């Protein structure tokens, strides 16, 4: 999985930004490269889903076109005003008043004054916009550092294993992600493979993912009982976690010499086992996600792989990928890919899955991290 990083100097909080290119050059490049119509459509759709909840969207769907547009404009404005700082909110309200009333005549006795204050409204809006942009750029610097740290924590490739091919991939929806992909060399030539998904998105999910990874690496080498491993992870995340945050986890311990995989599924999407001339089999969850309930009992199971068999482990960023028609990719589409995946090496099979997901999205922005682990027992020479 490609994870090349490019270092760049970090700007201090008080340092001015680097000199920007000319406005004319920027506009020419924008017109040359940008899909303006598609980008505006995706941005409007993003605003619709970010600011409005399910109840508001259902209410909006019952209105006519004109009423829907006016109601949505008002709702978005209220949401905007509610999410900025008090001083900026006051400035923006003044700007809106000036924009509406700035060209109205004022009569004082016999004197008729016609001030045009709309220019001041524009300046105030531009001032608030510049403040918000400054905050975003400063936050982006911090997130960029967090992104590089997170990418450094994740394995670039799986350790080589005789007779097996393994491919790892993690594609965050935002700058930082909440998916855990890891490969842990164990004693006796064994290999641990983990794919987890922390609830939520953004920095909070990324920090909890890092904690889950550190905890897993600390306790995974302590014994062979995967049920006990699940219980220990659950207890630690429940004790030290955040309210309403949990993590699903599929953990597989590969025993290459005998072709066995011992696995634990804590509320994660069921991986698929692809065998020749057979329907895909699922490795379903047997317990709730980690950190959700104290004292949860976790079990484990074993699956034997013949030469040529493949296991596809994935996060819900694949099956819940949503296209512009609000259709989900779904597990069935992944199952339908099985005949094409069986004959491919894991890296080629993974690339095919990602290509199918991208084609399904049809330019729509992914709303969740998409992670994959594919392992295949190679045919004997």
| pLDDT(24) > 70 | yes
Using DSSP, state whether 257 is helix, strand or coil.
coil
CB 180 within 8 A of CB 212: yes
Q: Do residues 223 and 318 both lie within one domain? A: yes
Count of residues in the chain: 381
Q: Do residues 133 and 203 both lie within one domain? A: no
Q: What is the structure's pLDDT at 272?
A: 97
Q: Do residues 306 and 274 both lie within one domain? A: yes
CB 271 within 8 A of CB 312: yes
Average pLDDT value for residue range 99-113: 65
> Which of 83, 117, 133 is the endpoint of a domain?
83
Q: Distance between CA 26 and CA 23 in Å, rounded?
A: 5
Q: Do residues 346 and 206 both lie within one domain? A: yes
Question: Would you give the distance in Å from CA 373 to the centre of its chain?
Answer: 17
Q: Do residues 290 and 255 both lie within one domain? A: yes
Domain harbouring 318, CATH code: 3.60.40.10
CB 185 within 8 A of CB 159: yes
- Answer whether residue 365 is part of any domain: yes
Q: Do residues 92 and 149 both lie within one domain? A: yes
Residue predicted with more confidence, 47 or 270: 270
Indicate the pLDDT class of residue 311, thresholds 50, 70 and 90. very high
Quick: pLDDT tens for 154-204: 787 788 888 999 999 998 887 778 899 999 998 888 999 999 999 877 777
Quick: pLDDT tens for 248-275: 999 999 999 899 999 999 999 999 999 9
CB 369 within 8 A of CB 178: yes
Q: Do residues 291 and 323 both lie within one domain? A: yes
Whole-prediction pTM: 0.74
Average pLDDT value for residue range 362-375: 90
- Answer whether residue 146 is part of any domain: yes
Nearest Cα to 200, choosing from 209, 190, 191, 192?
Answer: 209
Q: Do residues 201 and 317 both lie within one domain? A: yes
What range does the domain containing 58 cover? 23-83
- Answer whether residue 15 is part of any domain: no
Average pLDDT value for residue range 333-348: 94
> Which of 114, 136, 153 is the endpoint of a domain?
153
Q: What is the structure's pLDDT at 6?
A: 35
Indicate the pLDDT class of residue 20, thresholds 50, 70 and 90. low
- Answer whether residue 262 is part of any domain: yes
Q: Do residues 274 and 363 both lie within one domain? A: yes
The count of structural domains within the chain is 3
Q: Do residues 128 and 100 both lie within one domain? A: yes
Q: What percent of the chain has pLDDT over 90?
A: 41
Q: Do residues 142 and 162 both lie within one domain? A: no
Q: What is the structure's pLDDT at 109?
A: 59
- Answer whether residue 211 is part of any domain: yes
Each as own residue / partner, the long-range contacts of residues 87-93 (CB below 8 Å, 24 or more positions apart, any chain) are 88/128, 88/131, 88/132, 91/124, 91/127, 91/128, 92/124, 92/125, 92/128
Q: What is the structure's pLDDT at 7?
A: 37
- Answer whether residue 14 is part of any domain: no
| pLDDT(4) > 50 | no
- Answer whether residue 138 is part of any domain: yes
Average pLDDT value for residue range 123-149: 83
> Which of 83, 99, 117 is the endpoint of a domain?
83
- Answer whether residue 177 is part of any domain: yes
Q: Do residues 129 and 172 both lie within one domain? A: no
| pLDDT(143) > 80 | no
């Amino acid at each position: 999985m490609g994870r090349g990083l490019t270092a760049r100097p970090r700007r201090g909080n008080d340092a001015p930004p680097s000199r920007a290119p000319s406005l004319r050059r920027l506009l020419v490049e924008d017109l040359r490269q940008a899909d303006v119509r598609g980008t505006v459509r995706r941005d409007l759709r993003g605003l619709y889903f970010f600011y409005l909840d399910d109840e508001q969207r259902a209410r909006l769907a019952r209105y006519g076109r004109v009423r829907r547009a006016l109601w949505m404009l008002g709702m978005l404005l209220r949401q905007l005003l509610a999410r900025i700082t008090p001083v900026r909110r006051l400035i923006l309200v003044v700007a809106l008043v000036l924009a509406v009333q700035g060209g109205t005549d004022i009569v004082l006795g016999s004197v008729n004054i016609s001030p045009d204050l709309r220019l001041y409204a524009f300046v105030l809006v531009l001032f608030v916009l510049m403040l918000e942009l400054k905050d975003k750029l400063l936050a982006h610097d911090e997130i960029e550092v967090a992104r590089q740290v997170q990418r450094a924590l994740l394995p670039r490739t799986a350790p080589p294993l005789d007779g097996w091919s393994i491919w790892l991939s993690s594609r965050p929806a935002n700058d930082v992600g909440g998916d855990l992909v890891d490969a842990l060399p164990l004693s006796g030539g064994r290999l641990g493979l983990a794919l987890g998904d922390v609830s939520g998105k953004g920095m909070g999910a990324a920090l909890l993912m890092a904690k889950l990874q550190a905890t897993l690496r600390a306790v995974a080498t302590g014994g062979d009982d995967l049920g006990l491993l699940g219980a220990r992870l659950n207890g630690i995340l429940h004790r030290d976690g955040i309210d309403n945050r949990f993590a699903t986890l599929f953990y597989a311990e590969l025993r290459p010499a005998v072709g066995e995989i011992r696995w634990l599924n804590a509320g994660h999407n069921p991986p698929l086992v692809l065998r020749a001339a057979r329907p895909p089999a699922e490795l379903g969850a047997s317990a709730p996600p980690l950190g959700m309930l104290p004292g949860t009992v976790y079990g484990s199971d074993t699956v034997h792989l013949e030469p040529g068999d493949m296991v596809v482990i994935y996060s819900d960023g694949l099956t819940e990928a949503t296209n512009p028609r609000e259709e989900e990719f779904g597990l069935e589409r992944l199952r339908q890919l099985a005949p094409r995946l069986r004959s491919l090496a894991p890296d080629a099979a993974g690339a095919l899955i990602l290509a199918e997901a991208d084609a399904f999205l049809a330019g729509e922005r992914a709303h969740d991290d998409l992670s994959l682990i594919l392992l295949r027992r190679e045919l004997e020479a």
